[in-house]
Amino acid sequence: MIAAGLFAGVLFLGLIVTDWFRFTSLTSPASTYGCRVGRTEDRLPVAPLTLDLHRFDGNGLLRTQHGVARLFRDQWCILLRPQYQLFSLRFRTAWPLKATIVLEAVGSATRVDCIKRIPWSSACLTLIWFALVGLGTIGFIIAFIVNGGFASLSGILMGLGVTGLGVLVLAFGLVVIALAYRLEDHRLTQAYHELLAALTGDSILR
């Protein structure tokens, strides 16, 4: 039984590590890998063919001050993610963001479609956690009412206390996720604007 539990734990951890590895890689399949959580659209005043793509090296890589991008010329697609440096104060949260950027000609301009993604493991674990806490709180309330828990003053106080604790845990989780998303989105936005500046010839590269 213990061995089965250990095996399940190792397998679960391996799935998370594999998911993050695929998410953070800069390969072509990774450009569309991850759970979609947001989208922004911009327009550059130049055609795609006039963009400064020579800044990408022979492997299609471009490093800016806050990010790293890879160009897939055959798809007119760019994979962008923030750059995390060793021994810096910038730490990763459990909800890192990356962007899939598609360039499309619109007359003499370029439409920039930016799709934001997080790892599948982060999205699934977050949903499972909220479901367990939320459904557990609702299940407790229903069971407590059915068993007559609110028939006495002490039962009412206990029921309200447990219910309040469940709501507090849910609220705390929402605050943590909102703050983490705001932090990661700020990092990605920095790298995104640096990339657009590089494409239009006004780069702030290292």
84 pLDDT higher than 90 = no
How many CB atoms are located within 10 Å of the residue 56 CB? 18
**What are the DSSP E strand ranges found in 6-164?**
35-44, 61-63, 67-72, 77-82, 98-106, 109-118
Mean pLDDT is lowest, of 4-13, 57-66, 72-81, 194-203, for 4-13
87 pLDDT higher than 70 = no
The pLDDT value given to residue 163: 86
85 pLDDT higher than 70 = no
In degrees and rounded to multiples of 5, residue 172 shows phi and psi of -65, -40
Average pLDDT score over the chain:
87
Q: What is the mean pLDDT of residues 180-199?
A: 93
For residue 33, which of 112, 127, 99, 113 has the smallest C-alpha distance? Answer: 99
pLDDT band at 191 (very low <50, low <70, confident <90, very high): very high
206 pLDDT higher than 90 = no
Mean pLDDT is lowest, of 69-78, 84-93, 191-200, for 84-93
Give tens-digit pLDDT for 116-170: 999 999 999 999 999 999 998 888 888 888 887 777 777 788 888 888 998 999 9
CA–CA distance, 144 with 98 (Å, rounded to integer): 44
